Amino acid sequence: MSFTAIDGSDGERLSGVSLDARRVDLSEPFLSDSAGEASRYEVKTDEAGFGQIDGFQFGEYNFLASLPGFESQEFTLSLPGPFFGQVEASGRADLGTLSMTRLTPFSVQLKGHEDWGGAAGFSIAHTHQGNRAYFGPDGLAQLELGWFSEPLYLKMWFPGDDQEAIAYLDGGMPPDGEPWIIDVAKDVTLDVDLRIPEEVLNRIDLAEATLRVTFRTARGDSTMLAVAANEPGVYSVPGLAGTGAMVQFVASLDGEESGLAIERIRLEEGKHLSCVLAVDALPTRLKIVDGNGSPLAGAHLELRERHGSTSWAFGVTADDAGELFAVLPPNLELSMRVISKDRQTVAVDRTITWEPSEGPQILRLDVMPPTRIRATTEGRPLPGVEFELFGAHSDQTFLVLRTEEDGQTSPIRVVNESTARIRLASPDLWMVDGVAEVRSGENSLRVYETGRLILSEPADVYHVAENQSVQSWVARGLVEKVGGATATYRVPSGLYRMVRSDGSTWEGTLHPGQVLQIP
């Protein structure tokens, strides 16, 4: 059995990557089965990034690939399994290439933690990676991030664990070497008087109930503070920032987490504020239907404040009748996203205004003609390309589409007045302009496989087919510099041309996955 390990950021081969294989279909505590077959293997890659295990026995294994400074990978495989043809033909199984993700150091600096008696008790973690990192006496915590997407999504616990915060770095990553600053000062504290009448208390479960206060900092980062609220009363929520906030009470109704009351308030720096949040009645029923009036069973609805001053968001899934509970802020421009259960009908960042009315309300989704995304490279269809669908109001990925053998995605029905955009999901491919607007019908996009171009002198180097220079792509953020101090860029494959200062011309072809150095 063999494999190759590379650095996922630049494609360089990695030596010293340890692959530990533990057999899981043998009874513990035996280290070998009745035939004396080994149950564990370990190997490290050589200087060429190649690793091989001889005499590998068939069975089911857990694999762990690790290297200091990189995120570990864990996966399970049965051998020969998908490699049966290889094994039968050559007696070998090639696992292919393991792309390792380099760990990114990331530091977080608390500000205003003196109001809490110090930084002790504060902790933070990436929502999908590793354990909590605790803050030192200076209010500094260090994280190591593996693969992550932007905006970065972090969860922070306050002293006592009664208050939590979830934050998105919508304002962008801090410059290299600088910490992300979180202000937890109690300068702006909100006292929420939660009032719930008896008839509502009898219908809801308060065991996991929370008050959620969402706002956006001056830097542009979204934050949600959550405080446990297991009974009516006054709750203090310190550490707010920005100019406005949305206050929401969330509890379980008929076994489903539901928003039961919501209020929008203005914030003033240095002020101790208060508001009343009354659960006057159970939520209104909202019914999601298609253009013909048929219910969209299991459709998922997301709403957020259109102009993003508070970072409030609401998400819930409809039942089999297309109905759901909804308590929404009235007379406020909202950005709506909807995806049907079959993932074929989508509304992407469509602007609506919620107007309160009596009785069940109907949300009707009229759709455009079927939409497909078509990927081509050098005039031929390109299968297996993954695109991310997102909107004009948020960079968060809403849906991933994949091209089939004909180079086209399965059709989706995009709701009228959506503001859908699309970008590539794979870093190994490149698309003209990086982002494209999604229109009804066929959206044909030119996609290139990539390689690395090394520039030995400052000059305008042009991609002949696109008639655009590498320097213009760098300026627009469409290509990235990779590896070392040399001017090496990951660029689309194809023919490149350069005219030197002496008038001479150079041409060279960059093939996918290869390196081309301009002399």
Q: Which residue has the tokens 């206060």?
A: 213
Cβ-count burial of 177 within 10 angstroms (0-12 exposed, 13-18 middle, 19+ buried)? exposed
Q: Do residues 318 and 363 lie in contact, with contact meaning Cβ atoms separated by under 8 Å?
A: no
pLDDT computed for residue 30 by the predictor: 41
What DSSP line would sit under 303-315, residue for residue?
Answer: EEETT-SS--EEE
Distance separating alpha carbons of residues 329 and 304, to the nearest angstrom: 10
**Separation between Cα atoms, residue 173 and residue 294, nearest integer Å:** 44
**What is each CA distance from 22 to 16, 108, 481, in whole angstroms?**
19, 37, 38
Query: Along the 519 residues of the chain, how does pLDDT read in single tens digits?
Result: 888 999 887 788 999 999 998 888 765 544 444 444 557 888 999 999 999 988 777 888 888 999 999 988 888 888 777 666 666 667 777 888 888 888 888 899 999 899 899 999 999 998 776 678 999 999 999 988 887 776 788 899 999 867 888 888 877 778 777 899 888 888 788 999 999 998 888 889 999 899 999 988 877 788 899 999 999 999 999 888 888 889 999 998 878 788 888 888 888 877 788 999 998 877 777 889 988 889 999 999 988 877 666 777 778 888 999 988 777 776 678 888 999 988 889 999 888 877 666 667 888 899 989 999 999 988 899 999 999 999 888 777 888 999 999 999 999 999 998 999 999 987 789 998 889 999 888 999 999 999 888 876 556 899 999 999 988 888 888 887 775 556 788 899 999 998 887 888 889 999 988 888 887
Classify residue 511 by its DSSP letter: P
Which residues sit opposite 432 in a β-bridge? none
State the Cα–Cα distance between residues 469 and 453, nearest whole angstrom: 12
**Whole-angstrom distance, CA of residue 145 vs CA of residue 129:** 7
Specify the amino acid at residue 387.
Answer: F
Radius of gyration in angstroms for the set of CA atoms belonging to the chain, rounded to a whole number = 27
DSSP state of 396: S
Residue showing tokens 């957020």: 304
Residue whose entry in the numeric block shows the structure tokens 């150079």: 506
Question: Element (H or E) spanning 371, and its range?
Answer: strand 371-377
SS3 assignment for 53-78: CCCCCCEEEEEEEECCCECCEEEEEE
Q: Which of 24, 19, 23 is nearest to 53 (CA)?
A: 19
* CA–CA separation, 494 and 444 (whole Å): 19
Instruction: Compute the C-alpha angle 362/366/370, nearest 5°.
Output: 145
Tokens describing residue 61: 């294994």
Fill in the DSSP letter of residue 472: H
Which strand (E) or helix (H) includes residue 198?
helix 198-201
Q: What is the DSSP string of 79-117?
A: ESGGGHHHHHHHS--EEEEEEEPBPEEEEEEEESGGGGT
Which residues neighbour 257 within 8 Å (Cβ) at sequence distance 6 or greater?
208, 250, 251
Q: Which domains does the chain have, with CATH numbers?
A: 2-100 (2.60.40.10), 104-278 (2.60.40.1120), 284-365 (2.60.40.1120), 450-518 (no CATH)
Query: pTM of the entire structure?
Result: 0.64
Q: Find where tokens 């993700």 sit.
A: 101
